[in-house]
Amino acid sequence: GQSSKKAEPKSEEFDGLLVTIKGGIKTITLNRPAKKNALNMEMYEKIAAALRDSNDDDAVNIVVLTGSGDYFCSGNDLANFMNVTDPLAMAKEAKEFLQKYVAAYIDLKKPLIALINGPAVGIAVTVLGLCDAVFSTDKATFTTPFSSLGQSPEGCSSYIFPRVMGYAKASELLFFNQKFTARQAEECGLITQVFPNDRLQAEAWKRINDMAELPVKSLIFSKELVRGRERQLLHEVNRMECERLQERWTSEDFFTLLIFLINLLTIA
């Protein structure tokens, strides 16, 4: 029941991740502030597991994704691609990690709220289209510099973003590396509401706590009506996006960039 749920908060801490359950809310906190919460392979895996486990956990009504420190998430950790002996095997493995990661968002039955505490980059932006509400500080920015890195969109953004904001705005993010302010992201429909930075935590958590009190079956069934029809298509979009990235990660465009970055790090 509701009261026993609230009486026993649970908490797990992994390298780079903090997961708690309290009052019907599972909170997944990206917790690698020194690296601006960049996602390493373990984090991909643990976040996906935390999402999947929510589906059948009666103690969870809604799921919240947030970050610790000044960044929400700086996206994929490019260190994932460094010190690689077999680039083809690495690209295949990274593709599988990524596809499973996004699949966990697609398959989540309960409402997912992103609480954006700072700048969001790359896959931390694209998966917002798979969230049900996005509350953001006015200090956040949103950027997905895929093409400047020789890459291509993921997180089902190639399908969802044009539907949310139209092609003319989606291309700015997905093709042309433009940075959106929180206000711009709200105006184009990607995020729900922007709060002044010093009121974000208080106001967003008040909303989230209210959400967690709603009849969970109505939430699950309503989300199923909205998202269920698209689930199969989204898995197909996810597969196509990830296969394209696998090719991109072994492309000359990307190697050129990596060598540039490695030289930069070596010099520094």
Residue 69: phi, psi to the nearest 5? 85, -155
Q: Which stretch binds a second copy (CB under 8 A): 46-54, 82-90, 93-101, 245-253?
A: 245-253
By beta-carbon proximity to a second copy, the closer residue of 69 and 250 is: 250
Which residues, other chains included, contact 104 with Cβ-Cβ below 8 Å and sequence gap of 6+?
47, 48, 49, 51, 52
Look-up: residue for tokens 């309290």? Answer: 22
Binding mask of the shown chain, residues 139 to 158, with x at each position contacting a second copy by CB under 8 A: -------xxxxxxxx----x
The answer to whether 31 and 18 have CB atoms below 8 angstroms apart is yes
Shortest Å distance, C-beta 107 to a second copy:
16
Shortest Å distance, C-beta 147 to a second copy:
4
Shortest Å distance, C-beta 49 to a second copy:
24
Question: Helices 157-165 and 231-249 sit at what angle, rounded to 10 degrees?
Answer: 120
Binding mask of the shown chain, residues 217 to 236, with x at each position contacting a second copy by CB under 8 A: xxx-xxx-xx--x-------
By beta-carbon proximity to a second copy, the closer residue of 40 and 254 is: 254
By beta-carbon proximity to a second copy, the closer residue of 74 and 184 is: 184
Element (DSSP H or E) covering residue 169: helix 167-174
By beta-carbon proximity to a second copy, the closer residue of 96 and 221 is: 221
Half-sphere exposure of 71 (CA within 13 A, CB side): 19
By beta-carbon proximity to a second copy, the closer residue of 33 and 178 is: 178
Binding mask of the shown chain, residues 178 to 217, with x at each position contacting a second copy by CB under 8 A: ---------xxxxxx--------------x--xx--xx-x
The answer to whether 147 and 175 have CB atoms below 8 angstroms apart is yes
Residue 72: phi, psi to the nearest 5? -75, -60
Residue 159: phi, psi to the nearest 5? -95, -45
Q: For the chain, report the end-to-end CA distance as a whole number of angstroms.
A: 56
Residues 99-138 that bind a second copy (CB under 8 A): 111, 128-129, 131-134
Return d(Cα 113, Cα 181) in angstroms, integer.
Answer: 19
Look up residue 261 and give its two tokens.
């970055």
Candidates 21, 165, 194, 200; binder of a second copy (CB under 8 A) is: 165
55 binds a second copy (CB under 8 A): no
Look up residue 200 and give its two tokens.
């974000």
Residues that bind a second copy (CB under 8 A): 111, 128-129, 131-134, 146-153, 158-160, 162-172, 174-177, 187-192, 207, 210-211, 214-215, 217-219, 221-223, 225-226, 229, 237, 240-241, 244, 247-248, 251, 253
